[in-house]
Structure 1
């Protein structure tokens, strides 16, 4: 349509269910409907849904799919219900490793609209490609319940399955930023189902445009472990997101902390600096602005092996580079670490911002992290 363009209104970073390190248990389905909440960062006059079998080893049969405005929990607003079609068909089979985009749906939506996506999976699936810590519940019910207004007695599951995003038809020139990173974007530590992630708080501050969330808890910049490494997934999950004009980055904590859980040394500061430099060059080379957050404190992490003197020393060295020479590599640096770290011990999260595990932010901490982004440097 003249004067309109398809842009990302919602995104959800996904991982393989077959990884050795699991921060949430994967699962499959058999003759069941999965209904999941998708909160839009921005809206438009039409939408289309992106389904994925990215890490599947066998084709995935979707017997029916539908989208509606979510009322609460597993309930939808019935008059907003629309069946999804794929090349005109109500069923679709997604090949192993593949993805599909639905036909456009004439359902006007706006920022903050909560959609309910319902998928009927008629056969027995393998373990599902999933978002393991979306800080939102999905509902699973037996049979084809796609058209039902409610799913009484449905099982509640704190993961999201087979969906990577919703695109919306918005005015040309709509600016889209991609929050590309780890659990500090995905929202671990914030209130389940309350939409109080740092990305949500940042969207509340924006006078125009919006930010979609491609955070993956446990994700690393350099190493494939929990999700593909940041450098490996950058093109797919950030640079080619429809309408993307900016990329916000928060990575590094897991490169420094997670190796210690299996007795390995943390990434070196030199390797992280090289990785950040490569990432910035690739984003700028694609014609997008790139902003990076400093590496957050994790000295109080309760998880064995995460907090080590070597890892914390590397964090301080990387942050010194980001605050100094890194300001020339990136378009801007937002000091998320300084916004939430303790004045007495900068390796620790301030008590009022700590979710309780010494490594993640609560609702107030997520808001403080969002407040570290200077909107003048974001320039959406």
Structure 2
């Protein structure tokens, strides 16, 4: 059955500025569901050692092409552009969406212009986001899409997502409709301004949001392979024929209880925008707290972390959203926590163990994803399994699982609880 006969019919859902607290779900109109997302952060030099990005410099007379993967099918798409951390209005001179080819190239026959209230350009006020008009590009679940944004004037510092585990491309001049990748000579491992891709599909039952820190974000996964655990969960859902999308709202280094200039707003503050306000959200999987426990510039107790989790549960249930608690990973041997080979900090492990015990046994979460159980070593309950710590034949950091470990996380989630 055709859900929309013409693009004009789709345009009934025209571009809107998204306020800080959008309207509740369930309003009349076409059924949009989030199919890809990135939790945005304030401009910064980046949180990983030796990292660099384009967020502080911003863009001028440049095109930025970003490749993302849609986790659900639809007869049309729309994009969300964020200026949440901008200090001045952001002028987007134009945008296109296409199905991605190799590198920065796209499939020419799929190139579509994005419009905003039927205009090819838009201005987004500081502190706000904007959703495009519907774009008549049919997509299948797991299609890779290339979104190209062109900025004629200076943007100023860019709202961005630091650790993308994907390559973004930059070219001088307007290359929105350029199907080739040769002009895009500069690359980055972050996402800029783009914060969401939604699909229009009445058959989709809703979205599952993965909310957390670097392990959810995909730090440690292989670049440009979509092997983050939420990606692999999406693949399971597609293989099982379950019409649910998966959104990644992880931020590397993020904390549940406190803000950080490099690692985003605290989980308690960003839960509204990064979970509750996502279109079609049905379930959220939470794995937060390890950075609160291990970053000792602001020591916390198990009771404080548990109280933070309880607040997330309350917020989700207020909106009728199912919430799944993910246990916190082991971290013994991590070089940032053990720079001198110091003995295990048992006090920190006790906090993690207490929080995990509460997640498993309290019954306050609607369901539990026992990530720790599938990741920990059978010979050392505080250490990652060695086979999940190897990358390219070398030992990892004993905190961020490799692709196989991230797949084990996705596999341990009970699909029926979603």
Name the counterpart of 1:247: 284
Residue 375 of structure 1 aligns with which residue?
415
Summarize the alignment of residues 297-308 of structure 1 with structure 2, pairs less than 5 Å apart. 297-304=330-337, 308=345
In structure 1, the partner of 2:17 is: none
Displacement of 1:330 in angstroms is 0.7
What is the correspondence of 1:127-146 to structure 2 with a 5 Å cutoff? 127-146=157-176
Name the counterpart of 1:276. 309
8 Å contact from structure 2 (residues 53, 189) kept in 1: no
- The equivalent of 1:113 in structure 2 is 143
* 2:150 alignment partner, SS class: strand
Distance in 2, Cα, partners of 1:72 & 1:249: 33
Matched, 1:332 2:367: yes
2:154 is the counterpart of 1:124: yes
Q: Counterpart of 1:25?
A: 52
Q: Match of 1:282, SS?
A: helix
CA distance in 2, matches of 1:82, 1:20: 32
Offset of residue 254 of structure 1: 1.1
Q: Secondary structure at the match of 2:149?
A: strand
Deviation at 1:304, TM superposition (A): 4.4
Equivalent of 2:250 in 201, 204, 215: 215
Structure 1 runs not aligned, ≥5 long:
none
* Matched residues, number: 372
- Indicate if the aligned counterparts of 2:32 and 2:280 stay in contact, CA closer than 8 A: yes
Alignment partner of 1:95 out of 125, 128, 131: 125
| Alignment partner, residue 188 of structure 1 | 219
Q: Which residue does the alignment assign to 2:23?
A: none
Distance apart, 1:172 and its partner CA: 5.0
CA deviation digits over 1:263-305, x for unaligned, max 9?
Answer: x253210100111111111101110100010011111211146
Aligned to 2:324: 291
In the other structure, the counterpart of 1:234 is 271
Structure 2 alignment gaps of length 5 or more? 5-28, 391-395
Match for residue 200 of structure 1 among 231, 235, 252? 231
Give the Å deviation of 1:26.
4.1
Deviation at residue 201 of structure 1 after TM alignment: 1.3
RMSD: 1.9
Conserved in 1, the CA contact under 8 Å of 2:78 and 2:198? yes
Q: Contact 2:99–2:110 at 8 Å: present in 1 too?
A: yes
Counterparts in 2 of 1:210 and 1:20: CA distance versus 1, 3 Å: closer
The 8 Å contact of residues 45 and 53 in structure 2, kept in 1 or not, is answered as no
TM-score by length of structure 2 reads 0.85
Give distance in 1, aligned partners of 2:180 and 2:338.
Answer: 44
